[in-house]
Structure 1
């Protein structure tokens, strides 16, 4: 809890956001719209397309909302949402699970992608085709305890020893630079970095988490809000998700047009990468779920139990409070 409190209390970004939101809110009232903010988990990419579609095509306005989509600063999306400085954010099941255990009142309200599309990627010439091949190799990560736990979990399936894998923090270095310089493999989302490798003509091997454990098929990313928002303003959540659902459904049905809308909204993005990524990712949004955004309790319980068993949690998660399907359109 200490880490969260330090970030929430000390970050000047929270104050900046609060002032900005106050001004935007006044402007929105003049238009007859309710101003809300959604904070991304990273720089804009095809995980976020549905939100940009909903904004560009007026779906949010149709629901009476003026929505600002902003990138996270020093304080991430989880912290801003938990502190009530943003109404909505993008996160992952792992982060929310950890936050809930620490008493942070953040809740997942929709799964953006139904299944975990992440895995360990390596240049093809390194011949890393299964977890056993992680032995005597160097993994580049971001310094989170969950990384070694996931590596260990997968490697045990093939009687391999995680202690024989060198783990280093590669910081902000991108995958393509890092694997040429000082690492053998890294954890990526294929829908962006993997597709980028295809476009670059750089062949990679992928070891997907879901090929080795159903407990690692968790929701990443998800849309979030906080408990106070649920208590005080559930109608806004319903309106927000109605528009977001419509945006993601459009991206499912019209990936090329949806990619164009994302490129229009964020012109700094590489159009070829966005187009190719969108084509790959659009079928993954809803996948085998009855509707976009649907979450299952067993998925939350499976991953939380895996985290607990791997000593990543101090206590067991009350999964029923960590997510809800209540505000999704029927």
Structure 2
């Protein structure tokens, strides 16, 4: 009799626990999604594919998030994120380094691409094959002091003088228009503009920064947030990165499908460019890192030291506070 009583009590307890679990699960399912925003650094391109995949495939929703992907506008991603007007953004190690030196509490939370894929591009007809060939030519950029410093650094390795380069601000003028009209070379991401050159059958010479200095192998772009967001709502930061990581991992394994998702989200883009760019870039998201998004302190220290040595910073960076791997999925 006692044995049956024990069994009955056990059954009721198990049933009760099961019912409670179902009830709790139901509550979770009915819980409203948390609205958050992520601001891009530029118009949609394959640097951003993982975000669009996470949204389209429901990865954000599964983490309880309703994510609005927005354009930067005049304010820019860094300013919007730093001020709390956007929760997350797409930024650059260079800009976050400069911001932190000025007391702006931006923090990099993931590396979108593991290695720097940018460099100086020029039409083959300009005959610019190495940094020393910059001499006597015109460079078109966006007016940042770091541009002249990088050009000077590369030219110095070949005993050439940056003062022999004419540097002008071309603003938002695209590379292909600028090199036909105003300039001889510009700084581009090969994964987008370089791939577009291939599609246009316009042959270019590419001088990658990483071929000349390990210190210039910095993270560009990155995902960023601010110290206040990280301190007050770490659960949301964790949920955002969990879903975003799945998005980029999907893009790594399925570049063609990922490209289709980006094209659907940004129908004004050239589908051929998106497809070819995604094929080129997908293997580079994670590259030789153990996991997507991981950042190394040495990379932050190397580049900030380079910036300080080139008088682009007033003081040295506390690299440990500039980035975190804490919220990446374990």
Give the 5 Å matches for 1:107-256: 107-256=107-256
Distance in structure 2 (CA, Å) of the matches to 1:290 and 1:81: 28
Distance in structure 2 (CA, Å) of the matches to 1:67 and 1:232: 18
Distance in structure 2 (CA, Å) of the matches to 1:173 and 1:221: 21
1:171: Cα distance to partner? 1.3
Other-structure match for 1:276: 276
SS in 1 for 2:89: strand
Distance in structure 1 (CA, Å) of the matches to 2:136 and 2:106: 39
TM-score (norm 1): 0.91
What is the RMSD computed on CA atoms of the aligned residues? 1.0
1:162: Cα distance to partner? 0.3
SS in 1 for 2:52: helix
Other-structure match for 1:17: none
Other-structure match for 1:299: 299
1:31: Cα distance to partner? 6.7
Other-structure match for 1:325: 325
Deviations, residues 63-109 of structure 1 (Å, cap 9, x unaligned) = 00000000001111110110011110000000000000000011000
Other-structure match for 2:11: none
Distance in structure 1 (CA, Å) of the matches to 2:323 and 2:161: 35
1:125: Cα distance to partner? 1.1
Distance in structure 2 (CA, Å) of the matches to 1:180 and 1:84: 41
Deviations, residues 165-207 of structure 1 (Å, cap 9, x unaligned) = 1111111111001101111000000000000000000000000
Q: How many residues align?
A: 302
Distance in structure 1 (CA, Å) of the matches to 2:31 and 2:324: 31
Other-structure match for 1:267: 267
Distance in structure 2 (CA, Å) of the matches to 1:255 and 1:112: 15
Deviations, residues 135-190 of structure 1 (Å, cap 9, x unaligned) = 00110011100000000000000000000011111111110011011110000000
Distance in structure 2 (CA, Å) of the matches to 1:266 and 1:319: 35
Larger Rg: 2
Distance in structure 2 (CA, Å) of the matches to 1:234 and 1:31: 19
Where has structure 1 moved over 6 Å in runs of 4 or more? none
**Which runs of no fewer than 5 residues in structure 2 stay unpaired?**
1-29
